[in-house]
């Protein structure tokens, strides 16, 4: 038997389906911004290692993972505002459905 906490009794709230859609839309918007930022960071040379480290196939293979993580962390911490704009567009389109 599930009993709602006293503070929530009789207080209308957003439907769980709407919350789920919003959280999925926000996650998709943030993922889009993270991918965009990672792509932009790739061209800055942020992961370029000095030649003294030798480079090699391993460095080339795994540097893209580091760049993707940088993009994800930037987006998670607010990014440059792309995620918020994408979320607003998604939110408007969901309201039209």
Residue percentage of the chain with pLDDT more than 90: 37
Give me the residue label for tokens 């911004």.
33
What is the tally of structural domains in the chain? 1
Q: What is the mean pLDDT of the chain?
A: 80
Please state, in angstroms and rounded to a whole number, the distance separating the CA atoms of residues 77 and 93.
Answer: 25
State the residue range of the domain holding 39: 17-46+53-96
Which of 8-22, 55-69, 72-86 has maximum average pLDDT? 72-86
Does a structural domain hold residue 8?
no
Does a structural domain hold residue 4?
no
Does a structural domain hold residue 2?
no
Does a structural domain hold residue 34?
yes
Does a structural domain hold residue 57?
yes
Instruction: Specify the length of the chain in residues.
Output: 97
Does a structural domain hold residue 76?
yes
Confidence category of residue 96, pLDDT binned at 50, 70, 90: confident
pTM reported for the whole predicted model:
0.68
Does a structural domain hold residue 87?
yes
21-44 pLDDT, tens per residue?
889 999 999 999 999 999 999 888
Greatest Cα pair distance, the chain, in angstroms, is: 67
Give me the residue label for tokens 């993922």.
31
């Amino acid at each position: 038997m599930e009993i709602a906490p006293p503070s929530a009794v009789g207080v209308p709230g957003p439907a769980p389906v709407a919350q789920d859609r919003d959280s999925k839309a926000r996650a998709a918007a943030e993922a889009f911004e993270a991918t965009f930022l990672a792509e932009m960071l790739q061209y800055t040379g942020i992961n370029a290692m000095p030649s003294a480290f030798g480079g090699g196939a391993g460095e080339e293979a795994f540097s893209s993972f580091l760049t993707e993580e940088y993009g994800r962390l930037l987006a998670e911490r607010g990014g440059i505002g792309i995620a918020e704009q994408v979320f607003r567009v998604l939110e408007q389109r969901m309201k039209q459905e």
